[in-house]
Structure 1
Amino acid sequence: MKRSTVNPWDWSLKLGYNQAEMIEGATRQVICAGQTAVDSEGNPQHPGDMRGQISLALDNLEAVLKGAAMDLSNVTKLGVYATDVDEALKNLDLMGMRFGPHQVAPPMTLLGVTRLAIPSLLFEIEATAAA
């Protein structure tokens, strides 16, 4: 799979994502449901702790990708939902810490929502991946 970035402006790079990516030669695609800060039984974790929830949601995303024989380097698009956008932005360095070693910055949308499916959850991330 070949990835080519499309960035007519560079402001998004400072926030850790590309405006677009052209994907060529992919033979498999995985569409991941939103991952949140829940344990293996589906129980919410880290109540009131945005950073803890982002970290666990990323752990869960990585586990789903691993189940498809992929990792974060395969992610081509992210959708992020947060009940407090300002608090999420303060902690998005965690995204850079996870995606940076893979040298990818997938296009991303961050939306503020009034609540998630489980009221104690603060953050959810969905992904599309390709290989």
Structure 2
Amino acid sequence: METRSINPWKWQDQRNYVQAVEVKQVAGTLYCSGQTAISADGISSDADMDTQLTEAIENLEKLITEAGYECKNTVRLNVYHTDTAAFFESFHILQAWIMKHNIKQATTVLEVNTLFETLKVELEATVVK
């Protein structure tokens, strides 16, 4: 697999994403459903944004690795949250995970009115190999 980042500008570099990712010679593509802070028993978290974002990342990473893929090959990451201010206060948690895996992904971040039950953040990814 070969990837190429396309960045007509430089400002996104400090925000840990790219404007577009081209992928060639793909051996597989994993389309992940939105991952949230739901326990292995199916219980939705009612914790704060920091805790829920951490749990959503852990669930996403578990899904990716159990499917036989690597987090570093995430090419698209959509983030849905219910509170812009709270999310961006917690954004360093997501940035740390992105930097840990050297991910160069195209990203969309959206505030939504509600998510399932008591959830505050949801991560949807596309991963290639």
Aligned AA (2:50): R
Which residue of structure 2 lines up, in the alignment, with residue 122 of structure 1? 120
Write the deviation string for residues 66-110 of structure 1: whole angstroms up to 9, x where unpaired.
Answer: 111112112110111000012111211112211212222211100
**Which runs of no fewer than 5 residues in structure 1 stay unpaired?**
none
Task: State the distance in 1 between where 2:68 and 2:119 align.
Answer: 28
Task: State the distance in 1 between where 2:47 and 2:54 align.
Answer: 13
Give how far 1:3 is off: 1.4
**1:105 matched to 2:104:** yes
Kindly, what percent of the aligned residue pairs are identical? Answer: 29
Write the deviation string for residues 11-67 of structure 1: whole angstroms up to 9, x where unpaired.
Answer: 22211110111111111000000000010011012x240010000000000111011
Aligned AA (1:37): A
Between the two proteins, the alignment pairs up a number of residues equal to 129
Alignment of 1:52-131 (within 5 A): 52-118=51-117, 120-131=118-129
Aligned AA (2:126): T
TM-score, reference length from structure 1? 0.93
TM-score, reference length from structure 2? 0.94
Which residue of structure 2 lines up, in the alignment, with residue 39 of structure 1? 39
Q: Secondary structure at the match of 2:4?
A: strand
